[in-house]
């Protein structure tokens, strides 16, 4: 048994390393955990690259409104957002409906959009999301 473990352990490490490298080669980078959730819950409106849709859906790319109000994003996801807003100088006034996802997915999505689109170093966790949810307006 001990012998088996002695041989299997290095093999497992090599296997994990191979999967790791395979991922980097095929995806270009290790996929962010928020990416799949973003694509499922947000991308149909805000776009794969956060570009938004014309004058209907605001962009997330370098969105000044999101950068300035990052603390409010959990409540927008939970309760929706429905009043005129100005994003990067353009006015938007279509409703964003509430999205039912848990605090872990919400934190992952916020971290993903912060890094990919808002070019912001913010890293949040599920406890932060819950605290914001408890204080939604």
Residues in contact with ligand HEC by CB under 6 A are 41-42, 44-46, 57-60, 63, 65-66, 73, 76-77, 81-83, 85, 87, 92-94, 96-97, 99, 109, 113
Give the three-state DSSP class for 109. Answer: helix
DSSP line for 54-79 = TTTB---TT-HHHHHTGGGHHHHHHH
Residue 42 beta carbon to ligand HEC: minimum distance, rounded to whole angstroms = 3
The distance of closest approach from Cβ of residue 106 to ligand HEC in the complex, given in angstroms and rounded to an integer, is: 7
HEC readout, 114-125 = HHHHHCCCCCCC
Contact in structure between 38 and 113 (CB atoms under 8 Å): yes
Q: Which is nearer to ligand HEC, 26 or 100 (CB)?
A: 100
Q: How far is the CB of 134 from ligand HEC (least distance, A)?
A: 19
For ligand HEC, give the closer residue by CB, 87 or 104: 87
Contact 109, 34 (CB under 8 A): yes
**Min CB(59)–ligand HEC separation in Å:** 6
Cβ proximity to ligand HEC: between 102 and 131 the closer is 102
Nearer to ligand HEC (CB atom), residue 90 or residue 127: 90
Of 109, 106, 92, residue with least CA distance to 38: 109
């Amino acid at each position: 048994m001990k012998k088996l473990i002695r041989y299997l352990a290095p093999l497992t490490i090599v296997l994990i390393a191979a999967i790791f490298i395979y991922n980097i080669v095929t995806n270009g980078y290790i996929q962010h955990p928020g990416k799949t959730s973003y694509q499922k819950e947000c991308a149909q409106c805000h776009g794969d690259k956060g570009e938004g849709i014309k004058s209907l859906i605001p962009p997330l790319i370098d969105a000044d409104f999101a950068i300035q109000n990052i603390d409010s994003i959990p409540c927008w996801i939970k309760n929706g957002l429905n009043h005129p807003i100005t994003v990067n100088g353009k006015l938007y006034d279509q409703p964003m409906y509430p999205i039912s996802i848990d605090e872990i997915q919400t934190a992952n999505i916020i971290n993903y959009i912060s890094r990919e689109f808002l070019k912001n170093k913010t890293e949040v966790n599920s406890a932060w999301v819950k605290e914001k949810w408890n204080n939604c307006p």
